[in-house]
């Protein structure tokens, strides 16, 4: 019978435990239980350890025991190879496009850079311990956390008290509270992304060896689609299974698409959850409104705690404005702050937008920030703010306009009126959102990017040459501005 890495390591653990004896149970728990076997190649067993420090400690204190054990299991040439999961930086500035490297890149490219790899028949005198240095793989993960989004500058109010407290508890004790997953939900611009980053940052501060990863549902979907295309879904899944603390932002993005992505995530979720790793998910819809999500996944979301973020009341809005001003070292009269807080009551993003516009106005025109200036500006601002436009929203407006059911855009039909509605949707999505052609195609009936490009050109052409079409584009544009 051939041995698997799991059985080899399980046998090793037995021997180690025996050798350490019951009086050293704590030692065993601390230094051996966290080790995860990952592969057996010939006589080299690869194990994953949580950090560089951990590896050094093993090397310093348990080298003889490990050597003895491995040789008992794998023969006199038995060797160990370490894989160290390393989490590197927290971004200084918001990162929107960087997609974390997949397991494949991280594992295999890194291994080449590692200077310590030597082969068993080529032992290098300079290395202190050839037995251990069969190889080390360091897997670096960029957390994709935005250092500006901290818990300290997330202002507390009635609207977010539960979510903030739950977030705090999770950061203190990841994976060990009943808030797993922690689902943060609430409308656009109410602080879900900020809070999710803040919890990740706190968890990382507490335990820098933890691998924390922030990813948007859109990025996750794109990575999965790429992995399928490149036939490395195993690496993809493996990469995510190594994460200790996973933050998935905007899961409502999957509500009408990505069924296979959802399945992949479902399995990753189960794995992480079972290993007591922390999962945070955000959504701009409540679980009850996410009915189109894959049912098994939806049921998982209800396992932990769903905490909602509401619209801040006026006191909280004032506190948020003051906090932003203090952060930027800007002074503003109290009546101006109050005027903004009373008049912008939709969400925090718009509140911030109004503040920034006012500051810009005053500094560009060398005018003092007065109540009058604020009034002029806010009046304009309130009128001109449009809601955040998503592809879903564009689909809805276009379908409503042509009185078509919204599903028709997703359907493969080639009926002329539907093709036109689909093309218009793609055209506006390209124009009004930041989504890539690939994502737009995916959302409009699973088309590829070339189809989207073609649609955009067709609409642009018809808009110039066809009166009827021009009228539609015009009317729809008005609707988006309403």
What whole-number distance in Å separates Cα of residue 166 and Cα of residue 171?
9
- 245 with 203: CB under 8 angstroms? yes
Nearer to ligand ADP, 169 or 188 (CB): 188
Task: Measure the CA angle with vertex 86, ends 20 and 71; round to 5°.
Answer: 35
Q: How far is the CB of 186 from ligand ADP (least distance, A)?
A: 6
Nearer to ligand ADP, 51 or 252 (CB): 252
What whole-number distance in Å separates Cα of residue 144 and Cα of residue 94?
8
Q: How far is the CB of 197 from Mg ion (least distance, A)?
A: 10
Task: Measure the CA angle with vertex 407, ends 401 and 409; round to 5°.
Answer: 65
Q: How far is the CB of 148 from ligand ADP (least distance, A)?
A: 8
Query: Which of Mg ion, ligand ADP, none does residue 100 bind (CB under 5 to 8 Å by kind)?
Result: none
Fill in the DSSP letter of residue 218. H
Asked whether position 447 contacts ligand ADP by CB under 6 A, the answer is no
Give the number of C-alpha atoms closer than 13 A to the C-alpha of residue 435, restricted to the C-beta side.
31
3-state SS, one letter per residue, for 317-362: HHHHHHHHHHHHCCCCCHHHHHHHHHHCCCCHHHHHHHHHHHHHHH
Judged by CB under 6 A, the chain residues 295 through 334 that form the site for ligand ADP are 320
| 62 φψ region: left (φ > 0), alpha (ψ -120 to 50), beta (else) | alpha
The residues that bridge with 446 in the sheet, in sequence order, are none
Using CB under 6 A, pick the residue from 207, 313, 352, 392 that binds ligand ADP: 352
Nearer to ligand ADP, 201 or 476 (CB): 201
Asked whether position 348 contacts ligand ADP by CB under 6 A, the answer is yes
Using CB under 6 A, pick the residue from 111, 188, 373, 382 that binds ligand ADP: 188
Phi and psi at 309, nearest 5°, equal -110, 120
Segment near ligand ADP (CB under 6 A), from 35-43, 71-79, 153-161, 329-337? 153-161
Using CB under 6 A, pick the residue from 191, 258, 287, 445 that binds ligand ADP: 191
Query: How many residues at the interface with ligand ADP, by CB under 6 A?
Result: 16
Position with the least CB separation from ligand ADP = 191
Asked whether position 349 contacts ligand ADP by CB under 6 A, the answer is yes
Nearer to ligand ADP, 355 or 418 (CB): 355
Asked whether position 155 contacts ligand ADP by CB under 6 A, the answer is yes
Using CB under 6 A, pick the residue from 46, 142, 144, 160 that binds ligand ADP: 160
**What is the end-to-end Cα distance of the chain in Å, rounded?**
71
Longest dimension (CA), the chain: 87
By the 10 Å C-beta count (0-12 exposed, 13-18 middle, 19+ buried), 269 is classed as buried
Query: Which of ligand ADP, Mg ion, none does residue 55 bind (CB under 5 to 8 Å by kind)?
Result: none
Using CB under 6 A, pick the residue from 62, 154, 236, 269 that binds ligand ADP: 154
Q: How far is the CB of 189 from ligand ADP (least distance, A)?
A: 5
Asked whether position 194 contacts ligand ADP by CB under 6 A, the answer is yes
Position with the least CB separation from Mg ion = 193
Using CB under 6 A, pick the residue from 48, 81, 138, 192 that binds ligand ADP: 192
Nearer to ligand ADP, 346 or 408 (CB): 346
By the 10 Å C-beta count (0-12 exposed, 13-18 middle, 19+ buried), 439 is classed as buried
What whole-number distance in Å separates Cα of residue 446 and Cα of residue 259?
12
By the 10 Å C-beta count (0-12 exposed, 13-18 middle, 19+ buried), 24 is classed as middle
- Find where tokens 């230094």 sit: 31
Nearer to ligand ADP, 8 or 166 (CB): 166
What whole-number distance in Å separates Cα of residue 78 and Cα of residue 429?
58
What whole-number distance in Å separates Cα of residue 407 and Cα of residue 273?
34
Segment near ligand ADP (CB under 6 A), from 9-17, 75-83, 345-353, 467-475? 345-353
- 169 with 177: CB under 8 angstroms? yes
- Find where tokens 């925090």 sit: 348
Structure tokens of 388?
């955040």
Query: Which of Mg ion, ligand ADP, none does residue 348 bind (CB under 5 to 8 Å by kind)?
Result: ligand ADP
Nearer to Mg ion, 148 or 232 (CB): 148
Radius of gyration of the chain (CA): 27
Q: How far is the CB of 295 from Mg ion (least distance, A)?
A: 25
Asked whether position 202 contacts ligand ADP by CB under 6 A, the answer is no
Segment near ligand ADP (CB under 6 A), from 16-24, 170-178, 183-191, 222-230? 183-191
Query: Which of ligand ADP, Mg ion, none does residue 188 bind (CB under 5 to 8 Å by kind)?
Result: ligand ADP
By the 10 Å C-beta count (0-12 exposed, 13-18 middle, 19+ buried), 168 is classed as middle
Asked whether position 131 contacts ligand ADP by CB under 6 A, the answer is no
Q: How far is the CB of 390 from ligand ADP (least distance, A)?
A: 11
Question: Interface residues with Mg ion (CB under 5 A)?
Answer: 192-193
Structure tokens of 401?
């306009």
Residues that bind ligand ADP (CB under 6 A): 153-155, 160, 186, 188-194, 320, 348-349, 352
């Amino acid at each position: 019978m051939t041995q698997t890495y799991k059985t080899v390591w399980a046998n090793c653990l037995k021997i180690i435990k025996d050798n350490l004896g019951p009086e050293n149970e704590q030692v065993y728990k601390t230094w051996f239980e966290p080790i995860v076997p990952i592969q057996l190649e010939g006589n080299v067993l690869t194990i994953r350890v949580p950090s560089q420090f951990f590896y050094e400690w093993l090397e310093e204190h348990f080298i003889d025991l490990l050597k003895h054990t491995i040789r008992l299991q794998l023969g006199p040439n038995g060797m160990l190879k370490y894989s160290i999961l390393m989490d590197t930086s927290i971004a200084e500035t918001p990162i929107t496009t960087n997609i974390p490297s997949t397991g494949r890149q991280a594992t295999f490219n890194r291994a080449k850079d590692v200077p310590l790899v030597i082969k068993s028949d080529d032992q290098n005198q300079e290395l202190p311990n050839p037995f251990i240095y069969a190889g080390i793989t360091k897997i670096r993960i960029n957390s994709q956390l935005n250092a500006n989004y901290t818990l300290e500058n997330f202002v507390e109010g009635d609207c977010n008290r539960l979510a903030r407290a739950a977030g705090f508890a999770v950061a203190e004790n990841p994976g060990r509270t009943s808030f797993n997953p922690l689902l943060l939900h609430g409308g656009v611009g109410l602080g879900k992304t900020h809070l999710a980053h803040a919890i990740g940052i706190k968890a990382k501060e507490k335990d820098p060896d933890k691998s924390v990863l922030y990813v948007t549902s859109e990025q996750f979907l794109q990575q999965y689609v790429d992995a399928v295309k490149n036939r490395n879904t195993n690496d993809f899944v493996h990469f995510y299974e190594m994460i200790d603390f996973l933050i998935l932002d905007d899961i409502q993005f999957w509500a009408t698409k990505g069924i296979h992505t959802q399945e992949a995530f479902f399995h990753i979720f189960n794995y992480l959850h079972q290993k007591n790793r922390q999962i945070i998910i955000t959504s701009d819809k409540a679980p009850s409104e996410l009915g189109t999500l894959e049912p098994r996944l939806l049921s998982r979301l209800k396992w932990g705690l769903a905490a909602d973020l509401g619209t801040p009341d006026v006191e909280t809005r004032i506190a948020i404005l003051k906090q932003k001003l203090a952060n930027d070292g800007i002074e503003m009269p109290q009546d101006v702050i109050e005027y903004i807080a009373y008049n912008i009551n939709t969400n925090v993003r718009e509140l911030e937008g109004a503040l920034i516009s006012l500051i810009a106005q005053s500094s560009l025109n060398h005018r003092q920030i007065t109540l009058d200036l604020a009034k002029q500006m806010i009046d304009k601002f309130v009128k001109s703010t449009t809601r955040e436009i998503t592809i879903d929203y564009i689909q809805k407006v276009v379908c409503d306009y042509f009185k078509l059911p919204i599903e028709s855009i997703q359907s493969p039909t080639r009926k002329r009126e539907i093709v036109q509605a689909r093309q218009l949707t793609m055209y506006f999505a390209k124009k009004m959102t930041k989504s890539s052609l690939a994502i737009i195609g995916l959302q409009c009936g699973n088309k590829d990017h070339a189809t989207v490009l073609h649609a955009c050109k067709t609409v642009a052409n018809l808009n110039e040459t066809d009166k009827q079409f021009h009228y539609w584009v015009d009317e729809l544009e008005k609707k988006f501005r309403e």
